């Protein structure tokens, strides 16, 4: 290169760089915007961001009309690691020329419409070789570019003029070396796709179906761009956002994005359609880079693509028609229910919902059927289409509000949209879905102007006609909610292979089909279809949903006999098998499904693999109504076997609790349970710990185990606790108990504050204060002088005197006047000031009083009446009660059990948010009995309020509420027992401090070390735990007992006390020995003569169930007397007499042995013979626990 030419090139570079704005030098790979002064400048900045050197450059036309020439350029750029620079086709931009030189390029591919003069100018640059890639038209140009690719891995086929579709996949193609080929102008494809993976990009309007190619498409260029993000794999460390209308920046950035395997999102003027997909894949480290200036991609639009840290947002709400709204989220959202939405229209009454979530809802719009709306989610779970309740509709021009609430990671939000429906309903498709069934799908929901459900036929003269009336129509009903379809049933089977023509609204009658805005389907609207028979038999799979329930899932919709002809046999296919017989509602159809049914057995199924057989008692009848059949008449064969696996359920059910509104909350269990509809199994308390009555129960969705509780009111707001009792059990064979759990829900404060008392301290020497007691804690607005006025008897109001101050202490505002009311009245000449006006004060939630008016100022009494209420016994030494105002102190010495009775040792208080206070008093142990109606008395000055006023005496306040949990009884609370007197423990008897609620006690509440529990029996305060005998004598064993579950007392429930008191699980206890010793055997060891007593040294051995002793006076260790023996046992052959016992081994002071051995001198009368019986009696023989031997049980002598 000559020195002169080098200087010339350097001069050009220096000139161009001098002319460029300084900001443009900053382009790097990590910028959040890459932009030049125009599209050419932006392409230069893109090159700067990705390349410091480049051996190859691709030069493409910047002219909008010629962008199509460069559709295929990105894959070549990716292969060559080359940037794409733009210049207008007729002249070489000086900055571009300088950039080529600065990159040190030695090869420049000139693509498409770039003029020969431009190519020649580039070729004239020292060290640069130019190769033109163009042909006779865009397809030939693309082919020329693709010819430079070595071994392409795949192909994208795009439309003839589908620039945006090509650019949506350009970065992927550049990264992965896919060729981009163009279809013909008519949508056909004449080329040959290469590589192993092949796609069509765009809809059928651009490219017709091609065998072996997978289509990626959307409704428009932006939806296709989103579909590309959903389908292809990108790395989301960064993402580029380019203008999807002008497109030129998207072309230039493709090879840069390919370097990072990044996606290029196409933006409209206001949105990025792919944002939901992209955002869900970004991380906190991801970079979002706009390509082009803010006129191409505004900061607002760029902001649509952002890492959201899992936060869910509602991107838009639109009203599709008079029946449906659409909610679009920024990312996939699963598990949405109707309860997550409240849909209203302008002027709807407060609380009304047009998409109610339950058939028991009470807040539907007039004329609607509650619980009948539907939610249909898009395939990507980012768009919810809400179809409102049957009978509900929107009005054109009205504003529709959608509240989206209680969605995980979403802050509750209300968005609005106006219905502007000008679209006439039309048929989108007609198809046969059975031998007598036709499905007509519309672009929106339609009906006959009167009937809006899925069961009542809306067929009327001329509104649905098939083949000009040649095919009789039996009925027309609405399809599944949200499907925008009608289901037509014909009177006779459709003919296979026959084309049918459906015409709608042929007569112009008042029952013509229309949308819910009132627009009629066009008269004689027509659609055709050809009926194709489906001859495949429905197949079925099975899944054990529990130990009792098996869910059958068919591969297509079926109907099941309800007359008893079908047996669902478990284990083996015979009449003797365990079975369920079909009947109305059996098996039960799964809600919202026409191909799923639940078969529930009466007894639990065996754990592990199982088989169920479908058996028909008689063959299918002519109409096939007594079998399982699909819509085409295909019958599931008798004997069909399905397999499944049953797992033993040892898992306790769980629950979630959600706030619904001020009087309702929703409880959802993890599985089917019992006891969930018993109100006493729920305890709701407000933020002050006060019980909120649970007054009602309703089913929201039985399939998801969701239920609704009605409560008195949660309008005061704050955190509410909901305790669910362990009395709730699942339906498994083990009846697993719910583990009592307390949940917290937050309710908004919607209660307006009220004034409970306005008092002037006239009893004090200087009557210059007014105390205003509100019903709840107030905000600082209660200290604003402008919110108060003094008034005389005539109602004339006066501002508070200058110098007046107001202090606030929770719910009490103290107005300190500059002088007495009488003095102020004198100054004003107003007459006596007997009233005060309280204006726009607010509580802590911002609620104003319901009324703002003058209120009388009362004279403060010397001592305030405490208004003792809600007196509860919390334990045998503790009570609580409420008083009518907030307190500063409570004096335990002035609070007693009855007047002058036992004095409290401690008194504490809690000032509640409703203006009351709760006082809790502790007394010596066992001060209060379990059953007696004790009282609490307050002496004078027992309580002091926040204004230092003290309480008047308040005596004989009955304890009316028992909130004391049961405890183990004080004396011998748990003992063993041998109920059948066979020397083996078979019961553990547990005694509590009070009677228990039998339903709260089950065998799973206890464990007994070394024993198997067989059941429990509850009787008052006693629980008898039956245990399996161990097979050997054990009456002296003292096992360990643990109460592992919770039990409840058996108080009478009231509106005030809606739940029983629960005793929590307890630590391990040692059970006392309560089982008496039992004589088990009597064995003779005889001499020459049979029997005991004939021969010297004859022995009689008595064996007991445990070591015993004989504490009766006179029974010696050596041998008992006959009198002593007679006191202990009865001998059936007569009491032994005369002669003597030469020995008798038994202790008199402590247990020693489980046997007594008597030795005879051989001279006894009434010899004891084999087959005689010996029966224990009296209290002579005892065990170490002082239990006397079992009386009356006869033992045969051996």
Q: Tell me the per-residue pLDDT of 820-871, one tens digit each, with 9 for 90 and over.
A: 999 999 999 999 999 999 999 999 888 899 888 888 888 877 789 999 999 9
The predicted pLDDT at position 985 comes to 97
1056 and 934 housed in the same domain: no
208 and 70 housed in the same domain: yes
886 and 1018 housed in the same domain: no
Give the contacts of 888 (CB within 8 A, at least 6 positions apart).
944, 945, 946, 948
Lookup: tokens for 765:
């020497």
* 1103 DSSP β-pair partners: 1081, 1155
Burial (CB count within 10 angstroms: exposed 0-12, middle 13-18, buried 19+), residue 870? middle
The predicted pLDDT at position 861 comes to 78
The CATH number linked to 319 is 2.60.40.1220
Residue-wise burial string across 158-169, b where 16 or more C-beta atoms lie within 10 A, e elsewhere: bbbbbbbbbbbb
Residue-wise burial string across 242-267, b where 16 or more C-beta atoms lie within 10 A, e elsewhere: bbbeebbbbbbbbbbbbbbbbbbbbb
Helix (H) or strand (E) holding 1102: strand 1096-1108
Q: Does residue 14 carry a pLDDT above 60? A: no
The predicted pLDDT at position 26 comes to 44
The predicted pLDDT at position 433 comes to 93
163 and 127 housed in the same domain: yes
Helix (H) or strand (E) holding 173: helix 163-176
Q: What's the CA gap between 610 and 608, in Å, rounded?
A: 6
Residue 13's nearest CA partner among 126, 125, 99 is 99
Domain with 719 in it: 655-747
Lookup: tokens for 1044:
């592992």
The CATH number linked to 814 is 2.60.40
The predicted pLDDT at position 1144 comes to 54
DSSP string, 272-341: BTTHHHHHTT--TT-EEEEES-TTTS-HHHHTTS---TT---EEEEEE-SSSEEEEEESS---S--GGGE
Render pLDDT for 548-591 as a digit per residue (tens, 0 to 9).
Answer: 999 999 999 999 998 999 999 999 999 999 999 999 889 999 87
Asked whether the beta carbons of 588 and 560 are under 8 A apart, the reply is no
Lookup: tokens for 627:
């079998």
Find how far residue 942's CA is from the centre of its chain: 48
The predicted pLDDT at position 1114 comes to 55
Q: What's the CA gap between 354 and 350, in Å, rounded?
A: 12
Render pLDDT for 141-182 as a digit per residue (tens, 0 to 9).
Answer: 999 999 999 999 999 999 999 999 999 999 999 999 999 999
| Stretch 228-237: mean pLDDT | 96
Phi, psi of 662 (to 5 degrees): -60, -20
Give the contacts of 893 (CB within 8 A, at least 6 positions apart).
903, 904
Asked whether the beta carbons of 610 and 644 are under 8 A apart, the reply is yes
Lookup: tokens for 410:
């979403």
Q: Does residue 39 carry a pLDDT above 60? A: yes
Asked whether the beta carbons of 1046 and 1062 are under 8 A apart, the reply is yes
DSSP string, 98-142: HHHHHHT-SEEEEETT--HHHHHHHHTSTT-EEEEE--SSHHHHH
As a three-state string, the secondary structure of 1114-1164 is CCCCCCCCHHHHHHHEEECCCCCECCCEEEECCCCCCCCEEEEEEEEECCC
Lookup: tokens for 856:
């009388």
Half-sphere exposure (Cβ direction) of 831: Cα atoms closer than 13 Å: 9
| Stretch 502-517: mean pLDDT | 92
- 858 three-class SS: strand
Q: How far is CA 257 from CA 55, 83, 240, 260, 646, in A?
A: 19, 11, 7, 6, 52
pLDDT band at 16 (very low <50, low <70, confident <90, very high): very low
Residue 376's nearest CA partner among 480, 230, 487 is 480
Tally of structural domains, the chain: 9
128 and 272 housed in the same domain: yes
What is the torsion angle, in degrees rounded to the nearest 10, for the CA atoms of residue 681, residue 687, residue 693 and residue 694?
-50
Lookup: tokens for 496:
């296979």
Render pLDDT for 173-225 as a digit per residue (tens, 0 to 9).
Answer: 999 999 999 999 999 999 999 999 999 999 999 999 999 999 999 989 999 99
Residue found by looking up tokens 């797992």 in the block: 647
Query: Could you tell me how many helices (H) and strands (E) the chain has, helices first?
Result: 13, 83
* 1013 DSSP β-pair partners: 1027
Residue found by looking up tokens 């038999």 in the block: 537
Asked whether the beta carbons of 54 and 105 are under 8 A apart, the reply is yes
953 and 835 housed in the same domain: no
1171 and 1107 housed in the same domain: yes
Lookup: tokens for 969:
């009884």
Q: What's the CA gap between 924 and 132, in Å, rounded?
A: 103
| Domain-located, residue 25 | no
| Domain-located, residue 575 | no
The predicted pLDDT at position 421 comes to 94
| Domain-located, residue 342 | yes
The predicted pLDDT at position 1033 comes to 95
Residue 540's nearest CA partner among 427, 634, 441, 422 is 634
Asked whether the beta carbons of 504 and 427 are under 8 A apart, the reply is yes
| Stretch 1040-1044: mean pLDDT | 96
Please say which residue of 371, 400, 418 terminates a domain: 418
Lookup: tokens for 1029:
């005998």
* 968 DSSP β-pair partners: 992
The predicted pLDDT at position 408 comes to 86
Q: What's the CA gap between 455 and 457, in Å, rounded?
A: 6
| Stretch 619-629: mean pLDDT | 94
DSSP string, 77-89: HHHHT--EEEE-T
| Stretch 427-454: mean pLDDT | 95
pLDDT band at 2 (very low <50, low <70, confident <90, very high): very low
Q: How far is CA 913 from CA 690, 751, 844, 903, in A?
A: 11, 12, 10, 29
- 782 three-class SS: helix
76 and 194 housed in the same domain: yes
The predicted pLDDT at position 364 comes to 92
Q: Does residue 1092 carry a pLDDT above 80? A: yes
Residue found by looking up tokens 């028909």 in the block: 616
347 and 206 housed in the same domain: no
Q: Does residue 11 carry a pLDDT above 70? A: no
566 and 641 housed in the same domain: yes
Give the contacts of 593 (CB within 8 A, at least 6 positions apart).
none
Q: Does residue 55 carry a pLDDT above 60? A: yes
Asked whether the beta carbons of 376 and 388 are under 8 A apart, the reply is no
Please say which residue of 692, 713, 747 terminates a domain: 747
pLDDT over 70 percentage in the chain? 95
Q: Is the peptide bond before 416 cis (omega within 30 degrees of 0)?
A: no
| Domain-located, residue 577 | no
Q: Does residue 1095 carry a pLDDT above 60? A: yes
Determine how many CB atoms are found less than 10 A away from the CB of residue 313.
Answer: 17
User: What are the strands of the beta sheet with 858-859, ordered from one edge?
Assistant: 805-809, 812-816, 769-774, 755-760, 858-859
238 and 338 housed in the same domain: no
Residue 180's nearest CA partner among 147, 210, 132 is 147
| Domain-located, residue 507 | yes
As a three-state string, the secondary structure of 471-537 is ECEEEEEECCCCCCEEEEEECCCCCCCCEEEEEECCCCCCCCCEECCCCECCCCEEEEEECCCCCCC
Q: Does residue 54 carry a pLDDT above 50? A: yes
Average pLDDT, the chain: 90
Half-sphere exposure (Cβ direction) of 870: Cα atoms closer than 13 Å: 17
Asked whether the beta carbons of 16 and 98 are under 8 A apart, the reply is yes
Half-sphere exposure (Cβ direction) of 775: Cα atoms closer than 13 Å: 12
The size of the chain, in residues, is: 1198
pLDDT band at 93 (very low <50, low <70, confident <90, very high): very high
Q: What's the CA gap between 9 and 17, in Å, rounded?
A: 12
| Domain-located, residue 271 | yes
Phi, psi of 336 (to 5 degrees): -70, 140
Q: Does residue 1007 carry a pLDDT above 60? A: yes
Whole-model pTM: value is: 0.57
Render pLDDT for 726-770 as a digit per residue (tens, 0 to 9).
Answer: 999 998 888 899 999 999 999 988 888 988 877 776 544 457 889
- 252 three-class SS: helix
Asked whether the beta carbons of 920 and 909 are under 8 A apart, the reply is yes
| Domain-located, residue 2 | no
Q: Does residue 24 carry a pLDDT above 80? A: no
Q: What's the CA gap between 1103 and 623, in Å, rounded?
A: 78
| Domain-located, residue 851 | yes
Phi, psi of 433 (to 5 degrees): -125, 15
163 and 69 housed in the same domain: yes
Please say which residue of 247, 271, 302 terminates a domain: 302
């Amino acid at each position: 290169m000559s020195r002169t030419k080098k200087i010339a090139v350097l001069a050009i570079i220096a000139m161009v760089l001098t002319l460029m704005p300084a900001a443009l030098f900053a382009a790097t790979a990590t910028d959040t915007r890459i932009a030049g002064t125009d599209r050419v400048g932006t392409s230069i900045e893109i090159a700067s961001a990705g390349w410091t050197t480049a051996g190859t450059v691709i030069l493409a036309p910047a002219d909008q009309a010629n962008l199509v020439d460069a559709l295929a350029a990105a894959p070549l750029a990716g292969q060559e690691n080359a940037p794409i620079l733009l210049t207008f086709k007729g002249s070489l931009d000086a900055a571009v020329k300088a950039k080529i030189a600065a990159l040190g390029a030695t090869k420049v591919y000139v693509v498409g419409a770039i003029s020969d003069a431009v190519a020649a100018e580039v070729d004239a640059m020292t060290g640069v070789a130019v190769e033109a890639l163009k042909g006779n038209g865009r397809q030939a140009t693309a082919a020329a570019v693709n010819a430079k690719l070595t071994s392409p891995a795949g192909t994208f086929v795009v439309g003839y003029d589908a620039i945006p579709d090509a650019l949506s996949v350009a970065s992927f193609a550049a990264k992965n070396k896919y060729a981009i080929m163009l279809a013909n102008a008519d949508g056909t494809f004449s080329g040959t796709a290469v590589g192993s993976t092949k796609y069509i990009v765009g809809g059928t309007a651009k490219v017709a179906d091609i065998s072996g190619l997978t289509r990626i498409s959307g409704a428009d260029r932006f939806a296709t761009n989103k579909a590309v993000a959903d389908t292809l794999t990108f790395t989301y460390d960064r993402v580029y956002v380019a203008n999807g209308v002008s497109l030129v920046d998207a072309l230039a950035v493709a090879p840069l994005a390919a370097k990072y395997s990044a996606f290029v999102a196409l933006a409209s003027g206001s949105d990025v359609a792919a944002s939901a997909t992209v955002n869900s894949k970004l991380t906190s480290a991801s970079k979002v880079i706009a390509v082009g200036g803010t006129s191409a991609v505004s900061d607002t639009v760029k902001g649509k693509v952002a890492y959201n840290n899992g936060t869910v947002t509602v991107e838009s709400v639109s009203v599709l028609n008079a029946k449906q709204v659409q909610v679009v989220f920024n990312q996939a959202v699963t598990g949405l229910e109707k309860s997550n939405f409240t849909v209203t229209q302008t002027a709807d009454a407060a609380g009304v919902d047009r998409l109610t979530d339950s058939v028991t809802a009470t807040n539907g719009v007039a004329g609607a059927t509650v619980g009948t709306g539907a939610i249909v989610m898009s395939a990507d779970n980012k768009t919810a289409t809400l179809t409102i309740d049957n009978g509900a509709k929107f009005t054109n021009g009205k504003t529709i509000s959608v509240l989206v609430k209680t969605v995980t990671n979403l802050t509750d939000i209300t968005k609005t949209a106006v219905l502007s429906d000008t679209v006439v309903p039309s048929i989108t498709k007609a198809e046969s879905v059975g031998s007598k069934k036709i499905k007509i799908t519309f672009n929106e929901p339609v009906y006959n102007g009167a009937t809006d459900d899925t069961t009542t036929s809306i067929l009327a003269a001329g509104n649905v006609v098939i083949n000009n009336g040649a095919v009789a129509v039996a009925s027309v009903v609405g399809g599944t909610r949200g499907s925008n379809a009608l289901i037509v049933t014909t009177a006779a089977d459709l003919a296979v292979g026959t084309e049918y023509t459906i015409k709608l609204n042929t007569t112009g009658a008042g029952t013509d089909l229309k949308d819910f805005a009132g627009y009629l389907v066009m008269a004689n609207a027509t659609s055709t279809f050809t009926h194709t028979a489906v001859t495949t038999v429905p197949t079925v799979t099975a899944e054990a949903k529990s130990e009792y329930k098996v869910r059958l899932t068919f591969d297509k919709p079926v109907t099941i006999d309800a007359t008893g002809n079908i047996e669902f046999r478990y284990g083996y296919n015979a009449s003797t098998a365990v079975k369920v017989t079909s009947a109305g509602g059996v098996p039960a159809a799964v809600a919202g499904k026409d191909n799923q049914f639940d078969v529930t057995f009466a007894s639990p199924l065996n754990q592990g693999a199982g088989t169920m057989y479908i058996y028909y008692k008689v063959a299918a009848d002519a109409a096939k109504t007594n079998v399982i059949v699909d819509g085409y008449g295909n019958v599931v064969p008798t004997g069909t076997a399905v397999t499944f696996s049953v797992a033993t359920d040892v898992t306790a059910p769980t629950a979630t609790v959600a706030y619904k509104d001020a009087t309702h909350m929703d409880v959802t269990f993890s599985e089917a349970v019992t006891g969930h509809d018993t109100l006493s199994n729920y305890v709701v308390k407000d933020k002050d710990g006060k019980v909120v009555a649970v007054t009602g129960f309703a089913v929201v969705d039985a399939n998801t185990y969701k239920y609704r509780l009605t409560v008195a009111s949660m309008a005061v707001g704050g955190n509410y606790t909901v305790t669910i009792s362990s009395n709730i059990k699942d339906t498994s064979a083990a009846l697993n108990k719910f583990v009592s759990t307390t949940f917290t829900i937050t309710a908004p404060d919607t209660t307006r504050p009220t004034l409970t008392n306005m008092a002037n301290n006239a009893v004090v020497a200087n009557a210059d204060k007014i105390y205003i007691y509100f019903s709840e804690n107030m905000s600082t607005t209660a200290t604003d002088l402008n919110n108060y006025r003094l008034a005389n008897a005539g109602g004339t109001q006066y501002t508070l005197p200058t110098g007046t101050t107001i202090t606030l202490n929770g719910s009490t505002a103290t107005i300190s006047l500059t002088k007495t009311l009488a003095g102020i009245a004198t100054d004003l000449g107003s007459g006596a000031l007997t009233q005060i006006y309280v204006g726009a004060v607010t509580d802590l939630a911002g609620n104003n009083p319901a009324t703002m008016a003058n209120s009388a100022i009362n004279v403060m009494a010397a001592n305030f009446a405490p208004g003792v209420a809600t007196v509860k016994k919390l334990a045998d030494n503790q009570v609580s009660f409420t008083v009518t105002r907030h307190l500063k102190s409570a004096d335990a010495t002035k609070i007693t059990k009855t007047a002058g009775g036992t004095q409290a040792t401690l008194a504490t208080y809690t000032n509640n948010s409703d203006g009351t206070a709760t006082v809790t008093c502790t007394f010596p142990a066992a001060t209060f009995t379990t059953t007696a109606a004790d009282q609490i008395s307050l002496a004078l000055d027992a309580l002091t309020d926040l204004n230092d006023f003290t309480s008047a005496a308040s005596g004989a306040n009955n304890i009316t509420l028992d909130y004391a949990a049961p405890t183990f009884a004080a004396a011998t609370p748990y003992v063993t027992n041998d109920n059948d007197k066979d020397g083996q423990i078979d019961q553990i008897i547990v005694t509590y401090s009070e009677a228990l609620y039998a339903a709260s006690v089950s065998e799973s509440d206890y464990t007994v070390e070394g024993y198997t529990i067989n059941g429990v029996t509850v009787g008052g305060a006693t629980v008898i735990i039956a245990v399996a005998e161990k097979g050997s004598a054990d009456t002296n064993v003292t096992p360990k007992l643990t109460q592992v579950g919770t039990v409840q007392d058996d108080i009478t429930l009231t509106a005030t006390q809606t739940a029983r008191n629960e005793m929590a699980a307890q630590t391990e206890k040692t059970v006392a020995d309560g089982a008496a010793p039992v004589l088990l055997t009597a064995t003779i060891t005889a001499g020459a003569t049979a029997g005991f007593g004939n021969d010297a040294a004859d022995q009689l051995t008595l064996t007991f169930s445990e070591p015993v002793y004989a504490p009766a006076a006179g029974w010696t260790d050596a041998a008992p007397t006959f009198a002593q023996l007679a006191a202990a046992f009865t001998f059936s052959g007569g009491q032994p007499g005369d002669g003597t016992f030469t020995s008798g081994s038994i202790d008199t002071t402590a247990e020693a042995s489980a046997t007594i051995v008597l030795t005879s001198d051989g001279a006894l009368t009434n010899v004891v013979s084999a087959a005689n019986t010996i029966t224990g009696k009296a209290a002579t023989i005892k065990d170490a626990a002082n239990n006397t031997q079992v009386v009356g049980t006869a033992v045969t002598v051996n």
